Amino acid sequence: MRKAVDGRAVIVMIALCLTWSLQQVAVKASAADAAPVFQLALRSGVAAVMVLLYARFVARDRWMARGMLLPGSAVGSLFALEFLLVAQGLNWTSASHMVVFLYTAPLFAALGLHLRLPDERLSRLQWTGMALAFAGIALAFLVPALFDTHNADLSSSMLGDLFGLGGGAAWGMTTVAVRTSRLSEAPATQTLFYQLAGAFVILLCATFLLGKTHFHSSPILWTSLVFQTIFVCFASFLIWFALLRRYLAARLGVLSFMTPLFGVVWGVVLLNEQASSAFLAGAALVCVGLIVVNGDAWIRSWLPMSARRTQKTSDGAARS
């Protein structure tokens, strides 16, 4: 039986969120030495081999064989699409913008699961969170477009932001594909391997098609690749899956939204990126909305009993 989040889980989640939030910063910082799409292809390939070896010789997971080709190909393709959009978007927008828009993924996952699975229907409280998050996205996009018309780089930056939002949608659809297929019964290492292997094949092909094969060996590039491969793609995801087996997923999901907040801070501190007031306000709304959508059960536990009864009644009427 999964238990409530304790102090140990909070510390581990803070470490994970710090790791995930540095991912886009690492790619952006080393982009001059290797194109983002090439970096993401290389790290995915090496991490896929590491996951395969770990599953076979350490975890000794028994992977499912029948009926896995189609769902495995689907999640691999969606995972590759996500990072292809991220890689291209980082050419135009900042790392802090990218991490916020990428982490809209749970919104798209919640919408997709609402349509596909009866048990995943959104409550009225969750729809409120969705509205807040999309209002934040609109604020981050529309205010600069309407009031910062003299900025020559604005259109390019907004295109990069749009790519980040597309990456978040692809990530969200990956979650839907996993939850609605046989992969939901497979070991976590099998799903992760399909994602990483698919990303490696597709992103490597994209690297050659786009002519982005330049690779200039440098300390910052190798540091970025080692960090992305070992700490992000391999260790952090395995730790995350281990936490999901032990703790309540909704509580962990709420804590995971420290990632975009850390990402904005890292972008400003490490890359000297500028964060406009409109973007910060929009990012705050997105984070609040995401917390409401994913922390629905946790929020309900804090509501007064009368409010919970009213909420339950309204949700039941809406679903009927």
pLDDT of amino acid 11: 93
CB 199 within 8 A of CB 41: yes
Phi, psi of 50 (to 5 degrees): -65, -40
SS in 3 state form for the chain? CCECCCHHHHHHHHHHHHHHHCHHHHHHHCCCCECHHHHHHHHHHHHHHHHHHHHHHCCCCCCCCCCCHHHHHHHHHHHHHHHHHHHHHCCCCCHHHHHHHHCCHHHHHHHHHHHHCHHHCCCHHHHHHHHHHHHHHHHHHHHHHHHCCCCCCHHHHHHHHHHHHHHHHHHHHHHHHHHCCHHHHCCHHHHHHHHHHHHHHHHHHHHHHCCCCCECCCHHHHHHHHHHHHHHHHHHHHHHHHHHHHECHHHHHHHCCHHHHHHHHHHHHHHCCCCCHHHHHHHHHHHHHHHHHHCHHHHHHHCCHHHHHHHHHHHHHHHC
Residue 149: pLDDT over 70:
no
pLDDT of amino acid 311: 52
Among the residue ranges 9-18, 28-37, 219-228, 268-277, the one predicted with the least confidence is: 268-277
Average pLDDT, the chain: 86
Residue 313: pLDDT over 60:
no
User: What pTM was computed for the model?
Assistant: 0.85
pLDDT of amino acid 289: 86
pLDDT digits (tens, 9 = 90+) for 85-116: 999 999 998 898 899 999 988 889 888 988 88
pLDDT digits (tens, 9 = 90+) for 59-78: 999 999 888 999 999 999 99
Buried b (16+ CB within 10 A) or exposed e, 125-159: bbbebbebbeebbebbbebbeeeeeeeeeeeebbe
Q: Rounded distance, CA 223 to CA 60, Å?
A: 30
Most confident of the ranges 144-153, 249-258, 299-308: 249-258
pLDDT of amino acid 264: 87
pLDDT of amino acid 154: 64
pLDDT digits (tens, 9 = 90+) for 171-219: 999 989 998 999 988 999 999 999 999 999 999 999 999 999 999 999 9
